[in-house]
Structure 1
């Protein structure tokens, strides 16, 4: 019996927009130019503010799709080394979020941990979250941070600052090519 939270039932959302947001955050952390960081942050905020409610929901679903894809990659990587992804990833992400009290309210951390666990166990983070109601304003920064921290975790594991972004971009490109061939 298939779960109602199975990824096949979930909208992919705007993965490209969510990836752009995460990639810009990664670049701002990796680059040491505070002026560029401020400009990039302002542009990212302006982009998010320009979205209508439907586009914003698509970007939320896209962020959840990123979380799912990152966790699936991490699950396979950890399983190759005889380790459990939940055991290796969740405590690290939760501990990091606890060190970010200005950006992440403590009450949002259990929800983000739940998203990671849902994705790590093969469920759609978006559908898992929606069963508890609509996203709250206080969950926006933690959602972005969750996707960011997972991408950064992958980049550290691979010792490649662009690996997570490139992996998703290649998957999107491959999906576009497959849909072009089918039409």
Structure 2
């Protein structure tokens, strides 16, 4: 039986732009930059302003697509070791977000956990979220943090700081060739 939250019904969004944001955050963290500098923040603000409402919505959908793809990869990786992806990913994600009170407000954590659980059970994160209303401004940083933390989790599992980004870039490239 098909769900209204089945990924086949979801827009993919601008996965490339969402991936660019996550990749730049990963590189900044790996380079030891814990705070966004004024120049980087200005570039982010300019990029965000240039998107417009439709573009911003596409990047949100792209971030949800990343979360779905990351959780799909993690599910397969954990199943290979006879482990449950939800059990292995969600507690760590929630604990990490709780340590990020400047970026992730406590009230956003259950939504992000639900988003990850939806993706981990094969549902579209964007359609799952849509059933509870539109995105709020307070959910933007937590959404970015969720995608970032999943990518970083994959990179740690593979012992390759670029694995998650490369995996998505290769999938996008392959999809464009088909």
Give TM class, smaller chain. Answer: over 0.9
Structure 2, unaligned stretches of length 5 or more? none
2:28 alignment partner in structure 1: 28
Aligned residue runs from structure 1 range 11-160, under 5 A: 11-32=11-32, 38-160=38-160
Please, what TM-score do these two structures have when normalized by structure 2? 0.96
CA RMSD of aligned residues (A): 1.5
Structure 1, unaligned stretches of length 5 or more? 179-183
1:181 alignment partner in structure 2: none
- Shift >2 Å, 4+ stretches: 32-42
- Post-superposition CA distance 1:1-45 (Å, at most 9, x none): 200000000000000000000000001101136799553343223
Q: How many residues align?
A: 178
Please, what TM-score do these two structures have when normalized by structure 1? 0.94
Q: Is 1:4 matched with 2:1?
A: no
Deviation at 1:51, TM superposition (A): 1.0
